[in-house]
Amino acid sequence: MNSLTVTGLSVSFHIPGAVVRAVGDASFTVRPGRCLALVGESGCGKSVLAHALLGLLPGNARTSGSAVLTEGGTATELIGASERTLAERVRGRSIGLIPQSPATHLTPVRTARAQLAEALRELGRRPESADELARRFGLRPADLDRYPHELSGGMAQRVANTMALAGDPWLLLADEPTTGLDRDLVERAMATLRELCDEGRAVLLITHDLRAAERVADDLAVMYASRIVELGPAEEVLNRPHHPYSAGLFDAQPHRAFVPVPGMPPELTALPAGCAFAPRCPHRTALCDELPVRGARAACHHPLVHQEGSRA
């Protein structure tokens, strides 16, 4: 079975006079038929993690750890892979990228058809299959003859999805696919991701929209200040979070308690040696000066305990 297994992935950026530790020791697996949502506040390292998997980090980035893409019995290490391998075999073919903002992702001066045909050509597929592919996403051939500004938000989203799927990737990476969309389109985008999962693709959804994550995720990873602090079945994590930060993040949501976590996350240039959440954590003890490792669920010395049948 295909899989993407990330183990101990770390990314830092070297900038004048400082090191930004953007991703620390991330580990997770993504499998066909499942959607893993990676949630966390702005700046915690989600996009950097995604870019590391696709070899899209800038020159000042230092990466360590491993991300193995297994397909049909062949394993490819993505970290440190050549640009050629990534461009010819990985991006668009194994891993499809669903863009952040479908409308702006498209070039304004060319029709949707021209752009889709080019994507197909680059993947070595028949440009004539554009109509067929588009139909799958509920687009009519005439829609493809429009320029991006002539497409509604929903149509632009479908065109972007069609392009992401042009190379028939088994794994889809969606980094904030719902940015700037109204609730209706968010709902539709999530329904599409769910369908793609249900037809056997794997989805890695990166978002700070917890409601969107709740809607589709099978598994949920919570990231705080560069680290995945909790990972588990979405239903479990959402209703019975083990990490105090997860609980705080969920309670801060407008559709939940709407109570923010006091304080601010640390600067990624000055992360503490121990638990990065400790300074804001009501449960901290001296133990928290030491970095907790993630076991089955949460990276926390004092995981929350939930009584049977209770809700967090």
Ligand X SMILES: Nc1ncnc2c1ncn2[C@@H]1O[C@H](COP(=O)(O)OP(=O)(O)OP(=O)(O)O)[C@@H](O)[C@H]1O
Q: Between 40 and 244, name the residue whose CB sits nearer to ligand X.
A: 40
Q: What tokens appear for 249 in the block?
A: 């993040």
> Which of 116/223 has CB closer to ligand X?
223
CB of 208 to Ni ion, least distance (A): 8
The single-letter DSSP state of residue 309 is T
Binding partner of residue 208 among ligand X, Ni ion, none, CB cut-off 5 to 8 Å per kind = ligand X
Residue whose Cβ sits closest to Ni ion: 47
Binding partner selected for residue 307 from ligand X, Ni ion, none, CB under the kind-specific 5 to 8 Å limit: none
Under DSSP, the state recorded for 303 is -
Sheet of strand 35-39: strand arrangement: 95-98, 171-175, 202-207, 35-39, 219-224, 227-233
- Neighbouring residues of 153: CB distance < 8 A, sequence distance ≥ 6: 102, 103, 181, 182, 185
Closer residue to ligand X (CB): 115 or 226: 226
> Residues 209, 292, 237, 32: what is their CA dihedral angle, to the nearest 10 degrees?
80
Residue ranges in contact with Ni ion by CB under 5 A:
46-47
Give the residues lining the site for ligand X (CB under 6 A). 13, 15, 20, 22, 40, 42-48, 58, 60, 176, 208, 268
The least CB distance from residue 19 to ligand X, in Å, is: 9
Identity of the residue, 47 or 192, whose beta carbon is nearer to Ni ion in the bound complex: 47
First to last CA, the chain: 35
Which of ligand X, Ni ion, none interacts with 43 (beta carbon under 5 to 8 A by kind)? ligand X
